[in-house]
Structure 1
């Protein structure tokens, strides 16, 4: 495989991984007010089947942090003390994760575009 193909492969794997990470962040934000919801996280692993490198998303994990206890006796899920378990999603952390995933996605996209432009420029030089 050529170096240009390797660069395209690595950057496209990063694009896919960051897109999945951003989907999980969006899901966490959407379910921030869902009682009993646990924050989802995804880690990245090195791609084993590629010579060029790259990453693949690892398994999705649930954050085992403590659920927030909320006092609301009128809530349908409230126990006899008037408390229920809310989600463990922290919107500040999710916004920071979303920003980091977006920036990483943009960096991979620039790398992909740069490799494509270099490949196109090389083909133009070879045609002359």
Structure 2
């Protein structure tokens, strides 16, 4: 029965990691128009504390790519030349990342459900 619980732990760790990843992606999308905002990226790491194959999110990193320079002399943050630094969030990249995270979440959910169904089927067989 430990194989079933290990499979459930692995898939639930994937669910948690993808949910947190989606939260960071949504923060990036929400701040796409915030001047000076830097995109957040989060790497996946193997979780050595749980069963083999469990994942978790690592430390949040700020994207160090250049901030977009926007010409708007009337903006309160504009410099003497009329430019201000906008965010470095690319909405197309964020939407693609959100779709990938959503599909990975669904795959982990399906694995969790399949494991639960197999466990129930095994219990029914053992009862007979």
Q: Normalized against structure 1, the TM-score is what? A: 0.97
Matches of 2:108 and 2:84, distance apart in 1: 42
1:31-60 CA distances to partner (integer Å, 9 max, x unpaired)?
Answer: 000000000000100011123321010000
Aligned partner of 2:118 in structure 1 is 118
Residue pair 1:7, 1:52 contacting (<8 A) in 2 also: no
Matches of 1:51 and 1:92, distance apart in 2: 35
Aligned length: 128
Query: What do you get for the CA RMSD once the two structures are aligned?
Result: 0.9
Partner SS, residue 59 of structure 1: coil
- 1:51 to 2:61 alignment: no
Runs of at least 4 residues off by over 2 Å? none
Aligned partner of 2:77 in structure 1 is 77
Partner SS, residue 44 of structure 2: strand
Where do 5+ consecutive residues of structure 1 fail to align? none
Where do 5+ consecutive residues of structure 2 fail to align? none
